[in-house]
Structure 1
Amino acid sequence: MASYDNDKLRNDSPGDDAMRDSHMGIGRYLATRLPTLKPPMAKAPNPFTLLAMLNLQQWLFFLVAFLAWSWDAFDFFTVSLTVSELGEEFDKSTSQITWGITLVLMFRSVGAVIFGIAADRYGRKWPFVVNNILFIILELGTGFCNTYGQFLACRALFGVAMGGLYGNAAATALEDCPEQARGIVSGMLQQGYAFGYLLATVFARALVGTTSHGWRPLFWFGACPPVLIIIFRLCLPETKSYLERDAARKASGNVAGTFVAEGRVALNKHWLLLTYLVLLMAGFNFMSHGSQDLYPQMLENQFNFSHNAVTVTQVVANLGAMTGGTVIGYSSQIFGRRFSIIVMCTVGGILLYPYGFTSNKRIIAAAFFEQFCVQGAWGVIPIHLMELSPGSFRTFVVGTSYQLGNLASSASSTIESTIGERFPLPPKGETKRYQYGKVIAIFMACVYVYVIVLAFVGPEHRGRNFDVAHDEDLSDATGHRGLTGGQRNGDEKRDSSDVEGNQKV
């Protein structure tokens, strides 16, 4: 879909050069999909050796991004874990309360656009700080809501703040990361989502219903850790990659004009790829929200699990998620991004029956391995998006494609709960019960097929170089090469064999 240099793609899967020819016909491109899916079986050092490649600053960048992404997820799942309590408080049904989840997902794309452009233009640091300030304000606000309307308004605004973080966190953690360590670091970063869910599950059990304030202390507590995350980020500099890009823009003599020109180049050259990324992320978000958001309600309502049993099941499921994301993120460096995604979706589909139909505590094992697969596939995503995204708008593209995918999947829990109410079970006392497990299994089966198809037909740029010296979009925007002193000797004098080998047109 685009063309790149051999040196920055030296580790790509066999046949990937062909798919980068921007003038390739659809038939020829599709013919490359199966050959390029073959696992490259690239050599990957021991994971501990890979992690040792990161210097102190790179570790700190990863840690602050991981903590922010974890708490982002914590704040999101506070609603999923208090659906029953919120329904009682506002006298609303489950499907009405899940609109609080849906609104967050719908408005996240707004935040991704705003904060993504800000981070690509002005740096990763200050948009990150503003983002976390909004988290503090809106989590506190949710905890003080007295009406259903106030609750929905706070969650919609929270969606804007939440949407701005993902792209920035991914760029902060991965931009300066050593190439060989990207897969495992990507997997570890993505599992901040599962770690946040795990923390939300534990603290919900500890704080909800244990005081006279009911569900509110969970939201009040959720507003506190971002203060520490803000202080942490203020102590760190900008990433090296952003500073190089900023220096290149300043060298052009017109920073704002260069930034706008980069945007035009990126849209003209990569619009088809950007569309693909949104479609792919819609599938991934349907996969995560479809398997997770209504699951606590299913355990409690359909299978009559106690609060403690729900907590234990959710904790084990999220341990599976964190394990899967880290292991498969690392493995994708060996087997390829697309191949890893397809295998995890296939295995996840096989496990849907025990995940949605086991009515006793053995469901814990099914939950562990199902979330291993879901988040295993997700573990590939941060670095996969970073490698596919245009360099000048990496934060914007990663964040916006992710959040537009969230927008498309925003009604997942509402769809599942609404359809589930068409399959009633015998009530327990005055509590109505429904076959949520059946709906989750059918819904997820469709999503897995969709993601497998998109991963199969899509591109992969494993091993792409993130340096400014290798960014053709920035070169096109400024009209010349040699933007930074950090480029290798001879970069501006690429020989004809290099061009021919990359099938450049």
Structure 2
Amino acid sequence: MSAISDLKSLTRRQRNVVIASFLGWTLDAFDFFILIFVLKYVAQEFGTDITSVTIAITLTLAMRPIGALIFGYVAERFGRRPTLMANILAYAVLEFASGFAPTLAVLIVLRALFGIAMGGEWGVGAALTMESIPPKMRGLISGILQAGYPAGYLIASLVFFLLFPVIGWRGMFMLGALPALLVLYIRSNVEESPVFLARRQHKLELSRIWTILRQHALLFIYAVLLMTAFNFFSHGTEDLYPTFLEVQRRLSTDTVGIIAIVYNIGAILGGITFGIFSEKIGRRRAIVIAALLALPLIPLWVYSATPLLLATGAFLMQFAVQGAWGAIPAHLNELSPEELRSTFPGLAYQLGNLIAAANATMQAGLAERYDNDYAFALAIFVAAVAILVALLAGFGVEAKGVAFGNAPENRASE
């Protein structure tokens, strides 16, 4: 059955859940990337340098694990649906408020709070979706959900290109309030997870979270290590690539923007494609193939002589990188202990993201050591991380197709 036929086979309730969770992650990413595009202009208005403004980005990343834990626990106790609505409303309000920040200090505080809200969305939305669809659909839907992140990046680039000259950086943040409308859609069209409803009489106490995590300590450590490698993989191909194009290849801002649009399209297609493959060949095999596919693409990605070839390399690289990511929502939810499906995947993901937050600094430092050779820094770093992702996934565990609701002891298999 084709992907389109598979999607058509979903019930209306299931399709509504997928749409809501995809849009929730897409708009969350859109709100995050707005600041990436307006760093220079924020610094100019507050009379400071760009480095000072980037503190807001660092704190956003640092606070995401806190959000994963808080919103994950609330979702385990009170339900995925109301928690997702509260989560989306929180990040939309904080994004809107950022547009009114009177000082840089206030903006930094608002972005830190935004990080808490952003950290909760992925885990809660993925759990709601994976618990609501048939097991055979997890691979495809996993790829679609993960494609929401590059889709958010793509929307932010288009909005910046089309509207920034008119509305400025404050207007960009105010547009970030639009996700609040998604709450109305969820309230009217999305039902609670059937898995949660089946065990809602068993209220999860906070102390129970730590007990379960201790019982599954090795699995949790493995998941965090895997997500650390994955976040180095994605950030390692995204964070400094525009800088490489501008500084080392001396391309114009417009050309860099077009290349960014091209590689985000590649990322979306890669996530969906390998999500589908993961249902046929397994999560680990799909991840290993996608990660290793990145290796031969490195010369085209950073050593091409023309913008067209660089764009081609960037498209293919993100197809591979986000292809590996395409299996992750399903993979982590299937590995998760039954009682912590809103908490375990999101917390592992965000802790890995926190550890990998040093990526840009590490790559920039490596480039400076070799006379600002960003191409070399990107190439050597991504080659090492791609191999690490393949090794961790290939020699890790998998629970593809597990029936949610089973005893956690039977969840992981080689």
The CA distance in 1 between the partners of 2:206 and 2:42, in whole Å, is: 45
Structure with greater helix share of residues = 2
Query: 1:360 maps to which residue?
Result: 306
Question: What are the superposed Cα offsets for residues 91-113 of structure 1, whole Å, 9 maximum, x if unpaired?
Answer: 55554443332221111001000
Say which of 41, 66, 73 aligns to 1:85: 41
Larger deviation: 345-354 or 111-120? 345-354
The CA distance in 2 between the partners of 1:352 and 1:88, in whole Å, is: 36
Aligned pairs (5 A) from 1:1-400: 45-208=1-164, 210-211=165-166, 214-223=168-177, 225-235=178-188, 236-247=190-201, 249=202, 255-256=203-204, 259=205, 263=209, 266-358=212-304, 360-362=306-308, 363-400=310-347
The answer (yes or no) to whether the contact 2:13–2:191 under 8 Å persists in 1 is: no
The answer (yes or no) to whether the contact 1:303–1:360 under 8 Å persists in 2 is: no
For the structure 1 residues 260 and 149, does the alpha-carbon distance in structure 2 shift closer, same or farther, using more than 3 Å as the test?
closer
Larger deviation: 147-156 or 316-325? 147-156
The answer (yes or no) to whether the contact 2:73–2:206 under 8 Å persists in 1 is: no
Say which of 380, 385, 391 aligns to 1:442: 380
The answer (yes or no) to whether the contact 1:105–1:409 under 8 Å persists in 2 is: no
Percent same amino acid among aligned pairs?
A: 37
Question: What are the superposed Cα offsets for residues 141-170 of structure 1, whole Å, 9 maximum, x if unpaired?
Answer: 322334433332222221111001110110
Q: Letter of the 2:215 partner, please give it.
A: K
Report the Cα offset of residue 339 of structure 1. 1.1
The CA distance in 1 between the partners of 2:48 and 2:364, in whole Å, is: 13
For the structure 1 residues 201 and 152, does the alpha-carbon distance in structure 2 shift closer, same or farther, using more than 3 Å as the test?
same
TM-score by length of 1: 0.76
Runs of 4+ in 1 over 6 A off after TM superposition: none
Residues 1:456 and 2:394 are matched in the alignment: yes
Q: Letter of the 1:276 partner, please give it.
A: Y
The answer (yes or no) to whether the contact 1:278–1:402 under 8 Å persists in 2 is: yes
The answer (yes or no) to whether the contact 1:119–1:127 under 8 Å persists in 2 is: yes
User: Over alpha carbons, which structure has the higher Rg?
Assistant: 1
The answer (yes or no) to whether the contact 1:324–1:376 under 8 Å persists in 2 is: yes
Query: 1:476 maps to which residue?
Result: none
State the secondary structure of the residue aligned to 1:170.
Answer: helix
Q: Letter of the 1:152 partner, please give it.
A: I
- C-alpha root-mean-square deviation of aligned residues, in Å? 2.3
The CA distance in 1 between the partners of 2:86 and 2:140, in whole Å, is: 29
The CA distance in 2 between the partners of 1:303 and 1:84, in whole Å, is: 21
Report the Cα offset of residue 122 of structure 1. 0.7
The answer (yes or no) to whether the contact 1:99–1:414 under 8 Å persists in 2 is: no
Query: 1:408 maps to which residue?
Result: 355
Report the Cα offset of residue 472 of structure 1. 4.8
For the structure 1 residues 452 and 98, does the alpha-carbon distance in structure 2 shift closer, same or farther, using more than 3 Å as the test?
farther
Report the Cα offset of residue 382 of structure 1. 0.2
The answer (yes or no) to whether the contact 1:101–1:410 under 8 Å persists in 2 is: no
Structure 2 unaligned spans of 5+:
none
Q: Letter of the 2:171 partner, please give it.
A: P
For the structure 1 residues 155 and 294, does the alpha-carbon distance in structure 2 shift closer, same or farther, using more than 3 Å as the test?
farther
State the secondary structure of the residue aligned to 2:403.
Answer: coil
The answer (yes or no) to whether the contact 2:151–2:264 under 8 Å persists in 1 is: yes
Question: What are the superposed Cα offsets for residues 5-60 of structure 1, whole Å, 9 maximum, x if unpaired?
Answer: xxxxxxxxxxxxxxxxxxxxxxxxxxxxxxxxxxxxxxxx3323322331100000
TM-score by length of 2: 0.92
For the structure 1 residues 308 and 394, does the alpha-carbon distance in structure 2 shift closer, same or farther, using more than 3 Å as the test?
same
For the structure 1 residues 132 and 264, does the alpha-carbon distance in structure 2 shift closer, same or farther, using more than 3 Å as the test?
closer
For the structure 1 residues 419 and 96, does the alpha-carbon distance in structure 2 shift closer, same or farther, using more than 3 Å as the test?
farther
Aligned length: 410
Larger deviation: 238-247 or 456-465? 238-247
State the secondary structure of the residue aligned to 1:81.
Answer: helix
Report the Cα offset of residue 237 of structure 1. 2.3
Report the Cα offset of residue 126 of structure 1. 1.9
The CA distance in 1 between the partners of 2:362 and 2:107, in whole Å, is: 20
Report the Cα offset of residue 413 of structure 1. 2.4
Q: Letter of the 2:181 partner, please give it.
A: L
The answer (yes or no) to whether the contact 2:227–2:353 under 8 Å persists in 1 is: yes
For the structure 1 residues 151 and 303, does the alpha-carbon distance in structure 2 shift closer, same or farther, using more than 3 Å as the test?
farther
The answer (yes or no) to whether the contact 1:102–1:413 under 8 Å persists in 2 is: no
Report the Cα offset of residue 206 of structure 1. 1.4
Q: Letter of the 2:398 partner, please give it.
A: E
The CA distance in 2 between the partners of 1:93 and 1:293, in whole Å, is: 19
State the secondary structure of the residue aligned to 2:342.
Answer: helix
For the structure 1 residues 50 and 350, does the alpha-carbon distance in structure 2 shift closer, same or farther, using more than 3 Å as the test?
same
Structure 1 unaligned spans of 5+:
1-44, 250-254, 425-433, 474-498
The CA distance in 2 between the partners of 1:78 and 1:291, in whole Å, is: 19
